Amino acid sequence: MTLSKNSQQPLQLEFSEDISIKFPRELEIFFHLSSELFCVIGLDGYLKQVNKSFLQIIGYSTQELIAQPFSSLVHEEDRAKTLEIIEQLAQTTSVIYWENRYLCQNSSYKWLEWKARSDIDKRLIYACARDITQSRQLEHQLFWQTKHDTLTGLYNRQEFEVQVTEAILTSKANVAQHTLCYLDLDQFKVVNDICGHVGGDELLRQLTILTKSLIRSSDIFARLGGDEFGILLKKCSLDEAEHIANTIRTLIQEFRFSWEDKIFTLSVSIGLVAIDRDSHNFSSVLSAADAACYAAKEKGRNRVFVYRHDDCELTRQRKERQWVTRITRALEENRFCLYCQKIIPLKEKNRQEHYEILLRLLDTEGKLVPPMAFIPAAENYDLMPAIDRWVIATFFAAYHNYCQSQQSKETLPGNHSTNVIYTINLSGASINSDLFFIFLKEQFALYPISHSNICFEITETAAISNLAKAAEFIDELKQLGCLFALDDFGSGMSSLAYLKNLPVDFLKIDGSFVKNILDDPVDHATVDCFNRIGHVMHMQTIAEFVENEPIIEKLRKLGVDYAQGYGIDKPKPLSFEVD
């Protein structure tokens, strides 16, 4: 073998095909000391020579590699491409770049990044590579993490959305019907609180393995949140999906989670929704499945609920749940506002002005939203205490500022500070909370307004739900000097039985009896009865839903003390100026 070089040609090796390649000493030193992987390949595709770095990375000896096909150790998925490149190198002297996975002696694969070219005579291929396994593994790991939940190894919400969206498209093309399952563990918080997050994580891993054993490899299983999971059952009808869901539910119910010296019994609520040609998008499908899952929880948990488009109860629940986010945002963005409605005296001896404080919400476009559009959702999702706190803090601050501004003005006996009562509604959740009572006292301390000007109003339903607590709450605030009104009296089944246990100052007669008092003798008698009972118990009465002057006159004849309704005054933005 000789080494030749001229001014027109690059350095090249001349060789004989029937002998091993021998390098000049200088080139051999470089060949073997280089950290890059060098090898020489014959045009027949067989290895002719390799350097020490190649041997160290791959793990085979020179004797095991020489005279072996270069492609024999290439990963089968990369072999066809590698053979194609060897063929290209035999036909050109251009440098070609490619990557493949090369089999090591320990049966693992290394990712190698190659660059190679043939010699001038196209008799040998000179190739060098560098090990890019670590960077490729990192890329693979990062790519995997974009699609998977690291705790359970399941798909994450983003990838689940991709898969469900594809399923919706196939359903719209009438290719197949699929079903989406939404799973929510019923007692996960208990495990998390007792065992800590480590125990909770282990439970999720075990339940993942358990559930995967019941679904097909073609189905898509994802973790959507803390203890919420989604399963896309491909090409599966609702009936089949309901059977699968009940199997999963039963298996989880029978499963026992053991952590240290404790054993836990669990259950799961599952919502199902069909993915068919009527499905709109991922959000609507997931929202429907979530609503069905919530309905399963509402009906007692540990059950499967199938979403139906014509289910009125589910529609109501979905609308309420949408309100949760809107209410929360409105509180954060201070988009609630206070209104008031006058309550007039029907007797000359009653001199005090009354105003009920009312709540309105401004939507993102600045339009007013009536309370009955969002209050039911706030009550069902435990948001009323937060709303009550906003109302009290806002009203107290505004009223205190007004009173401060009036101190410099001359006032006469019977002035505003002693002659006006403002009634603030409280929810059942608030009056049952010890923390709320503490909050009220803090607000009175922060804004030193007259307690006697403040009347708190609770509904009959709220009082009945926890009579002892309501009575205690009322008594404590009355000791501070506040007044109390009982709203919607007569709407409950046991009104007369519990009334004597509630030390309220005002009895508001339910408007359903008042509005028909002129035409319905039963309603007339009912209002008369409630008014008399209130007076016997030393309460003043207020009639609601008063819509016209004839009703006012009828109430006056019956001896009712106050009246409230659209026939007297419509709600308007809060103002402290007395009309």
Give CA–CA dist 457/356, Å, rounded.
Answer: 9
Is the Cα dihedral 270, 275, 276, 278 positive or negative? Answer: positive
What is the per-residue pLDDT for 152? Answer: 92
Is the Cα dihedral 144, 146, 151, 156 positive or negative? Answer: negative
Give CA–CA dist 336/327, Å, rounded.
Answer: 9
pTM, entire model: 0.55
What is the per-residue pLDDT for 579? Answer: 54
Is there a contact between 53 and 38 (Cβ–Cβ < 8 Å)?
yes
What is the per-residue pLDDT for 26? Answer: 54
DSSP conformation letters of 408-435: TS---TT-HHHHEEEEEE--HHHHT-HH
Q: What count of other Cβ atoms lies within 10 Å of the Cβ of residue 216?
A: 12
What is the per-residue pLDDT for 310? Answer: 65
What is the per-residue pLDDT for 438? Answer: 92
What is the per-residue pLDDT for 234? Answer: 92
Interior angle at CA 452, CA 450 and CA 453, nearest 5: 75
What is the per-residue pLDDT for 349? Answer: 77
3-class DSSP assignment, residue 280 = coil
- Show the tokens assigned to 362: 């401004």
What is the per-residue pLDDT for 359? Answer: 94
Reported as half-sphere exposure (CB side, CA atoms, 13 A), residue 568 has a value of: 23
User: Which residues have CB under 8 Å from 389's CB, separation 6+?
Assistant: 436, 439
Domains within the chain, CATH numbers bracketed = 3-137 (3.30.450.20), 148-309 (3.30.70.270), 333-406+418-573 (3.20.20.450)
Q: What are the mean pLDDT values of the chain's consecutive 10-residue runs (579 residues total)? A: 33 36 58 81 87 89 86 91 90 90 91 90 86 87 85 91 90 84 89 88 93 91 92 92 94 91 90 89 87 86 85 69 86 93 88 90 86 85 92 95 74 51 93 90 93 90 78 90 88 62 89 91 92 92 94 94 93 80
Q: What is the DSSP letter of 337?
A: E
